[in-house]
Amino acid sequence: MSAPIFQPQLVVQPRNGVGTAGFVLGLLGFLFSFVPIIGVIAWPLVIVGLVLSLVGFSRASKGIANNRGLAIAGAVLSVIGLVVCVLWTALFGAVATEVDKQADQEHLVVYEVSGDAVGASITYSTFGADGGSTNQETVTSLPWKKEMTVKGLLGGGTLTVTSPAEGGAVACRITVDGVEKKSATGSGAFSTALCSGF
């Protein structure tokens, strides 16, 4: 009677590399997706992480790999990171559209000075394609008014009125499209009313 022949069984190592790589990329993409500017690099990370995680899940389902949970976690993190990236893109797109809209919009800016000071000195900035300029006038009587049509985003307008040595009350007011943005008053010799930063 012959002795039984034992054949060594080959031990197949689980092929977990793809699912693990998918999890790592999905985790990195998920973390980077929350950072507004750096989040740009999250796009390829979450997309590749999702693909690798799904391949890893498929291998685990076939019994080739044994890290099914890790592959699922990688896929979930990748999907969440992808959703965050899409939301950031939508937000940036909306902001860019609003900026373009504001850049093309025209505004009526009105500078007004009132009071009883005789010989008040008025300094004001104007807007223009060249960046604008600063102007100065001395008026013999108030009220005084200056209107400008401005296209685009507003900022940096200034209106200052100073009473003369003889004194008197002065007031400045800035409106944009009929809405008051700044106002100030001053009274006495060389008193100043300053309207700026609207």
Which pLDDT belongs to residue 144? Answer: 92
Percentage of residues in the chain with pLDDT exceeding 70? 87
Per-residue tokens: 78: 């990748």
Cα separation, 37 vs 145, whole angstroms: 45
- Segment 53-71 mean pLDDT: 89
- Segment 106-121 mean pLDDT: 89
Percentage of residues in the chain with pLDDT exceeding 90? 34
Planar angle of CA 89, 42, 65, nearest 5 degrees: 130
Closest CA to 18 of 61, 46, 49: 49
Which pLDDT belongs to residue 84? Answer: 92
With a CB cutoff of 8 Å and minimum separation 6, the contacts of 30 are 42, 46, 77, 78, 80, 81, 84
Cα torsion 11, 17, 19, 24 to 10°: value is 150
* Contact status, residue 69 vs residue 78, Cβ threshold 8 Å: no
Residue 152 has pLDDT above 90, yes or no: no
Element (H, E) at 61: helix 42-61
Given its phi and psi angles, is residue 188 left (phi above 0), alpha (psi -120 to 50 degrees) or beta? left
Residue 51 has pLDDT above 80, yes or no: yes
- Segment 170-178 mean pLDDT: 91
- Segment 2-24 mean pLDDT: 72
Least confident among 2-6, 81-85, 117-121: 2-6
User: Model pTM?
Assistant: 0.52
Domains of the chain: which residue ranges? 17-103, 105-196
Cα separation, 114 vs 133, whole angstroms: 23
Residue 170 has pLDDT above 80, yes or no: yes
Cα separation, 29 vs 6, whole angstroms: 50
Residue keyed to tokens 């929350």 = 34
Cα separation, 120 vs 142, whole angstroms: 8
Mean pLDDT of all residues belonging to the chain: 84
Cα separation, 134 vs 123, whole angstroms: 7
Say which CATH topology domain 105-196 has. Immunoglobulin-like (2.60.40)
